[in-house]
Structure 1
Amino acid sequence: MYSLLFRTVLRRIDPERAHHLAVGVIRAIAALRLTAVVRLATRPDRSLAVNTLGLHFESPFGMAAGFDKDARSIRGLWALGFGHVEIGTVTAIAQDGNPKPRLFRLVDDRAVINRMGFNNGGAAAAAVRVARERRRRHRPIVGANIGKSRVVSVDEAVDDYRLSARVLAPVADYVAVNVSSPNTPGLRGLQDEALLRPLLTAVLDEAGSTPVLVKIAPDLDDTAIDSVCALALELGLAGIIATNTTIGRDGLDTPPDVVDAAGVGGLSGAPLAERSLEVLRRVRSRVPAEFCVISVGGIETAADAQQRLDAGATLVQGYTAFLYRGPGWARQITRRLAGLRKETARA
């Protein structure tokens, strides 16, 4: 049903407008007090539960950062079957993001190019909504993904991240430090150890007992990946999220003129799957088994998710495939994951 709706209607609507329409429907689930009813059909099987970061996750599958930038859809996404929701990317200073259009579908590749630019209402406003969600007895795990405010220079980035961590760490279940989006000038340079060390140290100082993870780009080479892993272990981070979007455009089925017309930005979706898996394997080989590694990038099916788990991911996240699969996507993933585990147990 959703596939037909997408082909005939949704793909003809501007991608960002379609996103806002979807968010409105998802928020309505909570507003109309339908969460408990919807959850009857989407609650993950108990066999999928994961304990990591000192937290209990109902399943390993969560919504990646980018969908719910302002922490307005947490309850609705949980109702749809996501085991955790990573809100953001949130910045200390509210900002509009990059000029529109800034979101483009590559339908032939089941992919998206975005240059949103961290459009959000600011860390303080998001913290109020996350705190409200945290007071609920039944809720998903909520991570807060933080990034650099556009108006802040790279030299002042440490204090900028520190401010976001100060207001969000007390209310979030974990904090994810985003230094890997290609859509904020100078941000990816923060992955260099000389810049990353003081930044992560500052966030850790503010976070206290709240777990801190760092999100890395798929475009890092092996040496840089190894460096981030070593630094994360040295500083006592709780985990690494691999990976963000890519600036690469290789191997796409979408006509080059369509890709060129979309312009700069981060590519996500199916074309990222192979590289994201490679980075996951590299990271896992460099960190202890108990160290949390969240794999994201190109996950569309339960088989994709299971492949990441088999490769050493502690948790997995998705976003882009949600645009192509629709509101039943998380339920499809978790139901099939549970089925795969039962098949393995019988074998």
Structure 2
Amino acid sequence: MYRLLFSLVFARMDPEQAHHLAFRVIRLLPVFGLGRVVHRFTGPAPELAVEALGLRFPSPFGVAAGFDKDGFAVRGLGQLGFGHVEVGTITAIAQPGNERPRLFRLVRDRALINRMGFNNGGADAAAGRLARLARRRQRPVLGVNIGKSRVTPVEEAVADYERSARVLAPFADYLVVNVSSPNTPGLRGLQELDALAPLLEAVQRAARGTPLLVKIAPDLADDEVRRICELAVRLGLDGIVATNTTISREGLSASAAELERIGAGGLSGAPLAARSLEVLRLVRRHVPAELCVISVGGVETAADVQDRLDAGATLVQGYSAFIYRGPLWAREINRGLARFARERAARGQRLA
């Protein structure tokens, strides 16, 4: 049903307009109590619960940063079956993001290209909203992803991130430092160790005990990934999110003319799957078992999510496939994961 709706309606709309339309519906789910009814149909099975970051995640599968930039639809997304919601990227200073159009579909590739540019209402506005949300019992685990304000020079990035962390950490279950988006000039340079170490140390102090993770790019060389892993362990970070979008355009069925028309931006979705899985395995080899590793990039089915868990992911996030699979996507993932768990338990019982 949704695929027909997508092809007849959403695919004909501007991608950002379609996103806002779907977002408004999700945001309204809790308003009239409809979400509670939906959640009985979509909620994850109890056996899927995961303990990580000192928290209980009802499912290992959650929404990646980028879908809910300001924290308006956290409860609605939880009622659709997502075990956690990572909001953002939020910046210290409110900003409109890049000029439109800035979101593009590659339907044949099951992918998106975006150059949104951290459009958000700023840390102060988000803090008030998340404070109200934190007082509610029925919500998914809440992650807050923070990035550099565009107007802030790179040499002043530490203070910018520090302010966001200080304002938002009290209302977050965990914080993520985003230094890997390709859509803010100079941001990815902060992944260099001489810049990253003091940045993470400052945010760690500002977070005051809120679990802290760093989000890395898939375009890093393997040795760069290894060194960031070593830094994360040395600083006592709580985890790594791997990975953000890629600037690569390899392996796409989209024509060169179409890609030239679209222009710059981060690619997400199915084409990112292979590299994202490679980076996950690399990260897991270089960090202790207890470190939380969140895998993002190219997951679409329950089998994809299970593959990431088997490769060492603590949690898995998705976003792009939400556009193509529709509102019951998390339900499909959770049901598939529960089926895999039952099948594995049955095999174990037979072997015993």
- How high is the TM-score relative to the length of structure 1? 0.99
After superposition, the C-alpha distances for 1:216-255 in whole angstroms (9 at most, x for unaligned) are 0000001110111011011110000000000000000112
Counterpart of 1:247 in structure 2 is 247
Query: What residue identity is the alignment partner of 2:264?
Result: V
Given that residues 75 and 138 in structure 2 are in contact (C-alpha distance below 8 angstroms), is that contact kept between their aligned partners in structure 1? Answer: no
Query: What residue identity is the alignment partner of 2:81?
Result: G
Counterpart of 2:350 in structure 1 is none
Counterpart of 1:193 in structure 2 is 193
Deviation at 1:33, TM superposition (A): 2.3
Deviation at 1:288, TM superposition (A): 0.6
Counterpart of 2:286 in structure 1 is 286
Counterpart of 2:144 in structure 1 is 144
Listed as ranges, the matches of 1:186-265 within 5 Å are 186-265=186-265
Query: What residue identity is the alignment partner of 1:170?
Result: P
Structure 1 residue matching 2:294: 3-state secondary structure: strand
Listed as ranges, the matches of 1:66-77 within 5 Å are 66-77=66-77
Counterpart of 1:10 in structure 2 is 10
Deviation at 1:136, TM superposition (A): 1.0
Structure 2 residue matching 1:108: 3-state secondary structure: helix
After superposition, the C-alpha distances for 1:265-297 in whole angstroms (9 at most, x for unaligned) are 000000000000000000000001111000000
Counterpart of 1:95 in structure 2 is 95
Task: Return the alpha-carbon distance in structure 2 between the equivalents of residues 45 and 180 of structure 1.
Answer: 34
How many residues get paired? 347
Counterpart of 2:78 in structure 1 is 78
Query: What residue identity is the alignment partner of 2:187?
Result: L
Task: Return the alpha-carbon distance in structure 2 between the equivalents of residues 259 and 335 of structure 1.
Answer: 36
Residue segments in structure 2 that go unaligned for 5+ positions in a row: 348-352
Residue segments in structure 1 that go unaligned for 5+ positions in a row: none
Query: What residue identity is the alignment partner of 1:184?
Result: T
Structure 2 residue matching 1:142: 3-state secondary structure: strand
Query: What residue identity is the alignment partner of 1:260?
Result: E
Query: What residue identity is the alignment partner of 1:128?
Result: G
Counterpart of 1:124 in structure 2 is 124
Query: What residue identity is the alignment partner of 1:8?
Result: L
Mean Cα displacement is larger for which, 15-24 or 256-265?
256-265
Structure 1 residue matching 2:331: 3-state secondary structure: helix
Task: Return the alpha-carbon distance in structure 1 between the equivalents of residues 30 and 120 of structure 2.
Answer: 21
Structure 2 residue matching 1:155: 3-state secondary structure: helix
Deviation at 1:42, TM superposition (A): 1.0
After superposition, the C-alpha distances for 1:33-60 in whole angstroms (9 at most, x for unaligned) are 2221111111100111000100000010
Deviation at 1:133, TM superposition (A): 1.3
Deviation at 1:32, TM superposition (A): 2.1
Given that residues 179 and 215 in structure 2 are in contact (C-alpha distance below 8 angstroms), is that contact kept between their aligned partners in structure 1? Answer: yes
Query: What residue identity is the alignment partner of 1:230?
Result: E
The runs of at least 4 consecutive aligned structure 1 residues that moved more than 2 Å come to none
Query: What residue identity is the alignment partner of 1:52?
Result: A
Given that residues 53 and 238 in structure 2 are in contact (C-alpha distance below 8 angstroms), is that contact kept between their aligned partners in structure 1? Answer: yes
Query: What residue identity is the alignment partner of 2:222?
Result: D
Counterpart of 1:313 in structure 2 is 313
Query: What residue identity is the alignment partner of 1:257?
Result: A
Task: Return the alpha-carbon distance in structure 2 between the equivalents of residues 101 and 139 of structure 1.
Answer: 33
Query: What residue identity is the alignment partner of 2:75?
Result: R
Task: Return the alpha-carbon distance in structure 2 between the equivalents of residues 127 and 50 of structure 1.
Answer: 27
Counterpart of 1:327 in structure 2 is 327
CA RMSD in angstroms comes to 0.6
Task: Return the alpha-carbon distance in structure 2 between the equivalents of residues 319 and 133 of structure 1.
Answer: 22
